[in-house]
Amino acid sequence: MAACLRVMLPSDSISHLNIHRADAKVLQREIENAETIVTHRIAAGARQDWVNGSKAKVQLYPRVTFMAFHPDYTHVLSGEKKVMSPLGDPHSALIFHAWRNGISKADTVNLFNRGVFEKLGYFDLFDASMKAAKSEGDATGFDLPSMVRQWLSRGSFLHTINHVKLFAISDLARQVCKMIGVQPKIEYPEDVIPDPALVGPGWPIYPEVADRYGLRGSRVFKLKDNAVDGTKGSVLDLVEFVDRSFAAYAEAKGRLECAAADTPRYASISAADVALEVKPTTPKPKDNVAAAPVGKNPYKGLPDYHYWRRSVSGIQPSELDPVVDPRFQIGMTDRIGTAGSCFAQHIANRLQSSGYHYYVAEAAPAGMSAEEAARQNYGVYSARYANVYTARQLLQLFKRASGGEGLDTAEWVRPDGRIVDPFRPEITPDGFETKDAMIRSRHDHLTAVAAVMKQSDVFVFTLGLTECWEDAHGIVTPIAPGIVAAPTEEQGFRFKNLSVTEVIDDLTEALVMLRSVNPNVRVVLTVSPVPLVATFEKQHVLTATNYSKAVLRVAADEMKRKFDFVDYFPSYEIITSSSNRGRYFDDDLRSVKTEGVSHVMRVFLNHYCGQENTADIAAAKAAQDIVCEEELLDS
């Protein structure tokens, strides 16, 4: 923190002292002379009293400790003295348990497997880590859970459980500057200084744990840099780390204790658990892909779907099927939640009409007629959010549903004086009579969204747009202000066209957030094939459409590469393929015909649900009444 602030505020004199280890007189003098004290919360005592009695402005900032990614990290004691591992203070609870129970080094290495981690609860610490972050954030005035989720969009934000990477510390430092009312000269110190924590040890995120959160995993343990001989970046693999840890325990004096390894869950782990390991095998050639001999045409013998002529131009348009190896299946009893652009409604309607458990968490009130429920937008999606066009809109919706603060924007007012919820401007055609009525409806809605996040077995999200409108604080709405109702000038709405990096970051954060509250959820991403009604960019609507679809398609593919619980379904490709020569679009060249919807759902049900259905035009026509707020742009 001090290193960041020195870069950010070069005109200020910034000193750093460890409040627990610094000489008492020096510390007291520094506190007395300070204008501002930036500090963690500290235990009660004389040094805390000096801070409390100071005339300086005191700004707290949070400790960041996050066990979810390093659940094996612990300490070993001999009496009250810490035993040193090859990395210094950090130890592996699993390695210590194995050493203490006479498990061989080779078997200890093999205990690092998914089955053992499952028994030890290594995959169940995310919620507890986020609760701890919220508690620490609340105590210091930071929305730490939201910051953690944002950091996760960049990968791991930790070197060890409490050694935070520079980009995250810089984020905290920017917030500190904002809280104490100073403007940094250099806003991003991570761009100009090295990470000070890199001199210390680095604990890996084991691959089995990393897979859970879409992070990069390894078994490489980084040693502390050697200040004497200047050696930097030395590492140990798991075999070496086990060997040297065993040696450290054998050499240590006295009775060794480890609170983590003393818990009952470790008592259940024995050498027999190496059998839980799924041994890696040499992959067999699949469809001859890996079988091409050196010096020969590597494309020869590939399956038909690799070739344009065999799988696109040389088949009937109705036979086009671009799905290869879906990642999971959807059962009749799986709760299927949906959100997204207008096209997502087609998927929801067809799943429901096919007898699948389409999950609706926000149902119409008892006694409301079916016609009125439809008019009030109940059941259009799993919750009454109307169209969720952008990844940022989805992310902010998830954050609001999870209790995130600072994500609201003021109500809009229609010409007739009725109140409109900016996040759902067309959800109630009659508008709301009062702001309180709107707030009550929004509260009920967000409760339902939280249920969709937690209870869906499968979540289908259709990416629709990159163009959006945001207020002065970056809060986005599904439609431009002024079309349905007018915002206040203070809200400062402006046009925003999201970049591919922004969409990837937003989607990553949203999916990590979803998975954190629902560890078993599976996600299907699609891209809407429907072109833009209009663009606010100074370019032709056709090029604006192609930009938007390209960005969304790339982002969806990145999510599939990053997360093993995410799959991409090519509805966009089926509808827009040149093989059907535009026959799936209506005369306006935007609206998707029932034949196109039926083709998409036939392929979807075949691959994800095991149904060999033929095109059902009648069912598609029955699901044709689609709600689309974007149409208002051209009204």
**CA 61: distance to chain centroid?**
24
Do 439 and 411 fall into the same domain?
Answer: yes
Count of the separate structural domains present in the chain: 3
261 Cβ contact list (under 8 Å, min separation 6): 74, 93, 94, 96, 97, 100
- Residue 237 burial class via C-beta count within 10 angstroms: exposed 0-12, middle 13-18, buried 19 and up: middle
- The dihedral sign for the CA sequence 356, 360, 364, 366: positive
The pair phi, psi for residue 64, each rounded to 5°, is -115, 110
**Helix axis angle, 93-100 to 238-251, nearest 10°:** 60
In the prediction, which pLDDT does 278 show?
Answer: 43
Last residue of a domain, one of 254, 280, 306: 280
Integer CA distances (angstroms), 2 to 7, 13, 18, in order: 9, 10, 11
In the prediction, which pLDDT does 343 show?
Answer: 63
CA distance 40 to 164: 14
Do 52 and 138 fall into the same domain?
Answer: no
Checking if the pLDDT of 245 tops 60, the result is yes
Checking if the pLDDT of 404 tops 50, the result is yes
Strands 419-420 and 412-413 come out as antiparallel
Checking if the pLDDT of 287 tops 60, the result is no
CA distance 448 to 141: 28
Last residue of a domain, one of 239, 261, 280: 280
Residue 322 lies inside a defined structural domain of this protein: no
Which of 455, 459, 492, 456 has its CA nearest to residue 475? 492
- The domain of 621 spans 333-634
In the prediction, which pLDDT does 434 show?
Answer: 93
- The dihedral sign for the CA sequence 206, 209, 213, 214: positive
Mean predicted confidence (pLDDT) in 176-186:
94
Per-residue model confidence as pLDDT tens digits over 57-76? 989 999 999 999 999 999 99
Residue 298 lies inside a defined structural domain of this protein: no
Per-residue model confidence as pLDDT tens digits over 291-331? 455 567 888 888 888 999 999 988 888 899 999 989 998 88
For residue 102 the two structure tokens come to 């006479």
Instruction: Please state, rounded to an integer, the average pLDDT across all residues of the chain.
Output: 86
Last residue of a domain, one of 194, 213, 242: 194
CA distance 536 to 134: 39
Per-residue model confidence as pLDDT tens digits over 431-477? 999 999 999 999 999 999 999 999 999 999 999 999 999 988 899 99
Per-residue model confidence as pLDDT tens digits over 584-606? 999 899 988 888 888 998 999 88
Confidence of residue 345 (pLDDT cuts 50, 70, 90): confident
Residue 319 lies inside a defined structural domain of this protein: no
**Each residue of 76-114: b (16+ CB within 10 Å) or e?**
bbeeeeebebbbebbbbbbbbbbbbeebeeebbbbbbbb
Do 107 and 51 fall into the same domain?
Answer: no
50 Cβ contact list (under 8 Å, min separation 6): 27, 28, 31, 32
Strand segments (E) across 196-311: 221-222, 235-236, 256-257
In the prediction, which pLDDT does 284 show?
Answer: 39
**CA 633: distance to chain centroid?**
31
The pair phi, psi for residue 204, each rounded to 5°, is -75, 155
Residue 285 lies inside a defined structural domain of this protein: no
Do 189 and 206 fall into the same domain?
Answer: no
Checking if the pLDDT of 164 tops 70, the result is yes
CA distance 147 to 138: 13
Do 472 and 612 fall into the same domain?
Answer: yes
CA distance 395 to 502: 12
Do 269 and 393 fall into the same domain?
Answer: no
Do 256 and 404 fall into the same domain?
Answer: no
Per-residue model confidence as pLDDT tens digits over 499-517? 999 999 999 999 999 998 8
Residue 286 lies inside a defined structural domain of this protein: no
Residue 301 lies inside a defined structural domain of this protein: no
Q: Are 530 and 537 in contact (CB under 8 A)?
A: no
Other C-beta atoms lying within 10 Å of the C-beta of residue 256:
18
Which of 439, 502, 445 has its CA nearest to residue 468? 502
Per-residue model confidence as pLDDT tens digits over 418-432? 999 999 988 888 899
Q: How many CA atoms lie within 13 A of 587 on its CB side?
A: 0
Do 177 and 275 fall into the same domain?
Answer: no
Residue 46 lies inside a defined structural domain of this protein: yes
Mean predicted confidence (pLDDT) in 551-567:
94
Do 117 and 37 fall into the same domain?
Answer: no
State which H helix or E strand residue 593 sits in: none
Do 460 and 509 fall into the same domain?
Answer: yes
CA distance 473 to 480: 16
Calculate the CA dihedral of residues 501, 590, 482, 463 and round it to 10 degrees.
Answer: -30
160 vs 286, more confident: 160
Do 442 and 463 fall into the same domain?
Answer: yes
Confidence of residue 228 (pLDDT cuts 50, 70, 90): low
Per-residue model confidence as pLDDT tens digits over 603-623? 998 898 877 654 444 444 444
Which of 74, 73, 85 has its CA nearest to residue 206? 73
In the prediction, which pLDDT does 227 show?
Answer: 63
Residue 307 lies inside a defined structural domain of this protein: no
The DSSP code sequence of 187-200 is S-GGGTS--GGGGS
Mean predicted confidence (pLDDT) in 338-352:
75
Per-residue model confidence as pLDDT tens digits over 31-67? 888 999 999 887 656 667 777 778 889 899 999 999 9
In the prediction, which pLDDT does 349 show?
Answer: 76
Which of 616, 574, 511 has its CA nearest to residue 343? 574
CA distance 446 to 362: 9
Do 249 and 184 fall into the same domain?
Answer: no
